[in-house]
Structure 1
Amino acid sequence: MWIRRSAFTLIEVLISIALLSFVLLALYKSVSMLRSSNRHLFHYLERADNEKEGTETLFLDIAGSDGNLTIAGDEFSRLCLLNTVNSLYGLPAAKVCWVVSKSTHTLLRSEGDEYTLPLRSDDFVEVDAVVEGVDLFRVYRKKGDVLVLLRQKGRDSISFMVRGVPEILKKKKKKTKKKPHKQKRPPGNPPGNIPATPPGVSKPPVPNKPSI
């Protein structure tokens, strides 16, 4: 015996659509959360990769220098290496400076032949943004050891030391020995204690020896 089933009513269709919309909304939220977590993870890995690459470049810059480097700055250190073989642009010997921008707190690396800071309009220099959001950048040197401290805002600080950096020895000026001061004799005064004959007075004649 066949039982004929009636079609869905309008209320059942509306209830099905409502349930389906709830399921789709939950799926959309889960997909959105997954995308957001992936985006945060990508940014974190990208920042970590940039930080690692930047610290490696800084390490190689210091290790490849001839030891002639200057450290200055107040809030952040400013490191300039006058001659390093670690060039990113194919220079045989490059001058490299590491500076933190006070407006954006970005660690910048400049490379060129000969230039001064602040840069002039005719300086040909390559500038790269290495690490963003820097709140600590200090460089210290003691003889052949160079210590670097770097930290991004909200993250743990990174520190490393470069050993064996050549030292630039300053040449000491030779001290000239002072010669003893000789007292000047008045003109016409012969050496010794014998007084000189006053000018204008002739010496008395020496008598001849009597002949025997």
Structure 2
Amino acid sequence: MKKLRAAFTLIEMMIAISIFSIMMLYLYKSYSTLNISNNNLKVEVRKIQDIQKIKKVIFLDFTLALYNSIKIDNRDKGEDFVFFQSSHSIHKRINPYITYMVKDKKLYRLESLKPITTYELPSDEEFDIDLLGTVKSFKVYKTTKKESSYLVAINFKSMDDILLRVNPLNEY
């Protein structure tokens, strides 16, 4: 009569451990690749969220601009200085004055209770400054048609460009 084996042999154990090690090596490589992909996805989603937030702010600023208040000063070839009064505020002001300006290739949004109509910022006024990003150019164009609409073109250095057509709601 044959005797039944009660355990695995050493060779069988070494083969099983080798197969398990190879499987774990591939699983670890897949896990590492997944983490890299997730980090890249996070960065891309963050960029898209930043662009969408900037678009939303610009759209609401121009759309809710008070009647006939948008003034455009063409300072340089690629840089406009825009100021107006709007009913949109991100700093909890009532009908604030909004100014968009480019200084040292950075696009700023200023919000204050008093109008800022000059490129040189007054030191006695209180205003909030939001940096929207580093730009190559910032231009605002007004249509010449009966209904007034504006085309806002922003060419960013490190983000996607914005080209936004806006119709102010408060104009008659």
Asked if these proteins are the same fold (TM beyond 0.5), I'd say yes
- Relative to 1, partners in 2 of residues 1:129 and 1:25: Cα closer, same or farther, differing over 3 Å? farther
Query: With CA pairs under 8 Å and 6+ residues apart, which has the higher RCO, 1 or 2?
Result: 2
The one of 146, 150, 170 aligned to 1:146: 150
1:4-37 per-position Cα deviation (integer Å, ceiling 9, x unaligned): 356543x665555454343323222212222222
- Relative to 1, partners in 2 of residues 1:32 and 1:125: Cα closer, same or farther, differing over 3 Å? farther
1:2 counterpart = 2:6: no
Query: Alignment identity in percent?
Result: 25
Instruction: Show the counterpart of 2:162.
Output: 158
CA positional deviation for 1:122: 4.3
C-alpha distance in 2 between matches for 1:58 and 1:128: 12
Larger radius of gyration: 1
CA positional deviation for 1:40: 2.1
CA positional deviation for 1:135: 3.6
In the alignment, structure 2 segments of 5+ residues that lack a partner are none
Q: Higher helix proportion, which one?
A: 2
1:116-142 per-position Cα deviation (integer Å, ceiling 9, x unaligned): 544455442222233x45444321124
Give the aligned residue type for 1:113: L
Following superposition of structure 1 onto structure 2, how do residues 75-86 of structure 1 map, counting pairs within 5 Å?
76-86=78-88
What is the number of residues matched between the two proteins?
163
Q: Which secondary structure state, in structure 2, belongs to the residue aligned with residue 138 of structure 1?
A: strand
> Bigger CA drift: 113-122 or 47-56?
113-122
Q: Which secondary structure state, in structure 1, belongs to the residue aligned with residue 94 of structure 2?
A: coil
C-alpha distance in 1 between matches for 2:56 and 2:113: 22
CA positional deviation for 1:58: 0.8
1:98-154 per-position Cα deviation (integer Å, ceiling 9, x unaligned): 23453xx65432211234544455442222233x45444321124433211134457
Q: Higher strand proportion, which one?
A: 2
Quote the RMSD (CA, aligned, Å): 3.3
Instruction: Show the counterpart of 1:96.
Output: 98
Instruction: Show the counterpart of 1:27.
Output: 27
C-alpha distance in 2 between matches for 1:37 and 1:18: 29
C-alpha distance in 1 between matches for 2:12 and 2:108: 65
Instruction: Show the counterpart of 2:40.
Output: 40
CA contact (8 A) 1:62 1:81 kept: no
- Relative to 1, partners in 2 of residues 1:119 and 1:32: Cα closer, same or farther, differing over 3 Å? farther
Give the aligned residue type for 2:30: S
